[in-house]
Amino acid sequence: MNYESKLTTHNIPTVSRPDGISEKTKYTFSITYTDQHSMDYEKFAETTRDIISREGNILAPYPDPQGDLNLRNLISERLSSLRGINVDADSIVITSGAGGAISNLINIFIEPNDTVLVEEFSYSGTLGMLLTKRANIIHIDSDKDGILPDSLEENLATLKSKNIIPKFMYLISVFQNPTGITIPLERRKAIIKIAQKYNVPIIENESYADFRIDGDPLPPAMYGMDDTDSVMYVSAYTKFLGCGLRIGYMVVPDVIKEQLGKNRMNTTMPSQLATMSVFNFLDKYGYEHGLELEESIMRKRDAMLSALKENFPDTCEWNQPKGGLMIWLKLPEGANSWDILRNAVDRGVKYNPGGVYRADREKNNYLRLTYSYNTPNEIHEGIKILADVFDKEKLI
Ligand SMILES: Cc1ncc(COP(=O)(O)O)c(C=O)c1O
């Protein structure tokens, strides 16, 4: 059978990826995997077993189209106590990870040539989905506090003069991926005001809100700061409990929920089994896991920061994250981390070049290093190798 002539791929633009990015390496600083060293799998097994023996028959029918009500109630309580979001379970939709929520939203919003605004650097998965849909992606200039309101407004005014109103802006407002930035309160207010003025909704992605290590308390989510239904909220338990679980969620206005309902067949719902496991673990052990996680990622973050200090020269700059799972590294102007990834992978180290966080694949004198997967010792070894790879190529 010749399937090639039948597939739609020739219509889909190829999203370019650096050589070596898909290979397995010992030192994986390229993906925000769940921290396997802090997860208590015995407890997880016990709570999963417990709920299946009590309520296993729930697995016979298809799940509720919005996802398990128990988990939605628990999310509703947490959002209210931790993130300043007061919504009931009815506004929450369980999804296959945050990525599933973003994909569901992109499917109901985006047609070819639609315009979307994103941060100066933005999560590669979302960019990939948008590029595949042929969206027109505009990166908004940012500073250490996130997108610049003046630049946002200037872009929106220019677009308006051409009769273009973006479908949405997509912001990762807490421990941003890849830069680690958390948008402070005043900047949040300014962004929301502009969004309301120009009738451009915000998709707020808080995938990293559970990963505060030792900084100031987080500002409230933008969702709770807006009273005009201008914000849609996305988050997940994937990074917290297990990427393999694929459990995320979104909070959306009724009109969006109805539209999603028309587009989402119940056969594409996330697994009810995974949903029940997540619910029972969190219900029984509360935020205990968060404390173990915090200690573990603190050790890993500190290992990476000290390894960078020992091995990288002053010509490079990096942030000192107070949370999240990654460090954003700037190499000297002109260095190209995209082209050199293959050399690092050949020596067992993988990172993400800055260009994967840009629709234009530029700005490759940056790179992202994640510290959630390897042990502190491995982090030291891997960073030493990476510095040597860059040094040999005279990038640093
Ligand atoms: C900002 C952001 N959104 C979404 C995702 C996808 O996450 P999930 O595994 O929950 O689908 C990631 C994964 O790295 C991410 O960093």
DSSP per-residue letters across 293-328: HHHHHHHHHHHHHHHHHHHS-TT-EE---SBSSEEE
**Ligand 1 center to residue 239 CA distance, Å?**
8
One domain for residues 273 and 386: no
Peptide bond into 61 cis (omega under 30): no
Q: What is the CATH number for 351? A: 3.90.1150.10
Q: Which two tokens stand for residue 258?
A: 């109805």
One domain for residues 173 and 262: yes
Average pLDDT over residues 173-183: 98
Instruction: Indicate which atom in ligand 1 lies nearest the CA of residue 236.
Output: 10
- Residue 92 bridge partners (DSSP): 251
Average per-residue pLDDT in the chain?
95
Domain hosting residue 239, numbered range: 44-285
Q: Are 138 and 115 in contact (CB under 8 A)?
A: yes
One domain for residues 218 and 167: yes
In the chain, how many domains are there?
2
Q: What is the pLDDT of residue 394?
A: 92
* pLDDT above 60: residue 10: no
The answer to whether residue 39 sits within a structural domain is no
* pLDDT above 80: residue 73: yes
Give SS3 for 286: coil
Average pLDDT over residues 332-355: 97
What are residue 31's phi and psi, to 5 degrees?
Answer: -130, 140
CA-nearest residue, atom 14 of ligand 1: 32
**Ligand 1 center to residue 59 CA distance, Å?**
27
Q: Is 172 in the pocket of ligand 1 (CB under 6 A)?
A: yes
Q: Name the band, by pLDDT with cuts 50, 70 and 90, for residue 173.
A: very high
pLDDT in tens, 270-316: 999 999 999 999 999 988 888 999 999 999 999 999 999 999 999 99
Q: Name the band, by pLDDT with cuts 50, 70 and 90, for residue 269.
A: confident
Give the residue, 1 or 339, on which the prediction is more confident: 339
Q: What is the pLDDT of residue 100?
A: 95
Pocket test of ligand 1: the residue of 238, 249, 357, 369 to mutate, having most ligand atoms within 8 Å of its CB, is 238
Percent of the chain surpassing pLDDT 70: 98
Q: What is the pLDDT of residue 5?
A: 75
One domain for residues 184 and 269: yes
Average pLDDT over residues 216-229: 96
